[in-house]
Copies of this chain bind each other. A is one copy, B any other.
Amino acid sequence: MSTIGWIGTGVMGRPMAHHLIEAGHRLTIFTRTKSKAKQLLEAGAEWANSPQEAAKDKDFVCTMVGYPQDLQEVVFGKEGVINTIKAGSIFIDFTTSRPTLAVEIANALKERGVLSLDAPVSGGDVGARNATLSIMVGGEKEAFIAARPILERLGKTVILQGGPGAGQHTKMCNQIQIAGTMVGMVEALIYGVKAGLDLETMLKSISGGAAGCWSLDNLAPRILKGDMEPGFFVDHFVKDMGIALEEAKRMQLSLPGLALVHQLYISVQALGAGRKGTQALYLALKHMAGMD
């Protein structure tokens, strides 16, 4: 079993850390709001007062924070991981963050004899609780092999996608596909409402064929019930799309569909629904149709 420094215990980080404690690893936790680590400390984890304290002398150091700037602070900040992480250990970041930041971290840690993996996940809080996440990994093969037992305790699809940043880039592909799927879904639903269709009956006709998608199966029924509770936060999706657009711009790649969906989701935030689930895109379309 390994010693693990774990930083970030939000809706994703908490159940993930819990699986590792259950597997017998010795975790040392830091998170901004100590109360969010309560369960984990009760389950046997130790508390650290800073990222650098959590990272000190561990086999693995894992981060699962909210935004790229949080990650930057946790790694490079005054009390950052980089001050104490030991040579020969492995750093794993599960945050969905900037691919270029993943490369910067990999380079900086390598100078200290530390290999790092960017390992963003998909599958949401349910996937985190059930350890059925898809984990998209970027980094050196040696680090991937060493980290595999930990990663496979947390996810069911664990794939090395390439060197540093490749995990983040893969996650961007995931979010870009979802952006399209979501706008198609909510526009189809609002069209159906306007055309006077019974939406449940309409969905029976279309969900089994070429229009079929996860969103239609899982989120459309929530919209029909008026359930906007978050599986995945609008605010986080806006962040992810922003990262993808920034990276695409850097690569001189025009993604008009993603850019439009990003804008529509900013409108969802403007309607006060940033902490709702991504299905709240429906609210923006409804608003544009003068239907609220």
Contacts and interface: CB of A to CB of B under 8 A. Distances in A.
Interface of A: 99, 122-124, 127, 134, 136, 157, 159, 161-162, 165-166, 169-170, 172-185, 187-192, 194-198, 201-202, 204-206, 208-216, 218, 232, 244, 247-248, 251-258, 260-261, 264, 285, 288-290
Copies in the complex: 2
Contacts of A178: 184, 210-211
Nearest to A217: B212
Given A134-B206, A179-B184, A260-B260, A173 B192 contact: yes
Contact of A174 (B123, B136, B183, B205): B205
27 contacts: A122-B211, A136-B205, A157-B205, A159-B201, A162-B201, A165-B195, A170-B197, A170-B202, A170-B205, A173-B188, A173-B191, A173-B192, A173-B202, A173-B206, A173-B211, A174-B206, A175-B211, A177-B188, A178-B211, A180-B257, A184-B257, A191-B255, A194-B248, A209-B214, A210-B214, A254-B289, A256-B288
A162 B202 CA distance: 10
Given A161-B197, A161-B205, 16 more contacts: A162-B198, A170-B205, A172-B191, A173-B188, A174-B209, A177-B184, A180-B187, A181-B184, A181-B211, A184-B184, A187-B255, A191-B248, A194-B253, A213-B214, A256-B264, A257-B260
Nearest to A184: B180
Contacts of A252: 289-290
A194 B255 CA distance: 12
A264 B255 CA distance: 11
Contacts of A197: 161-162, 166, 169-170, 173
A277 to B, nearest CB: 11
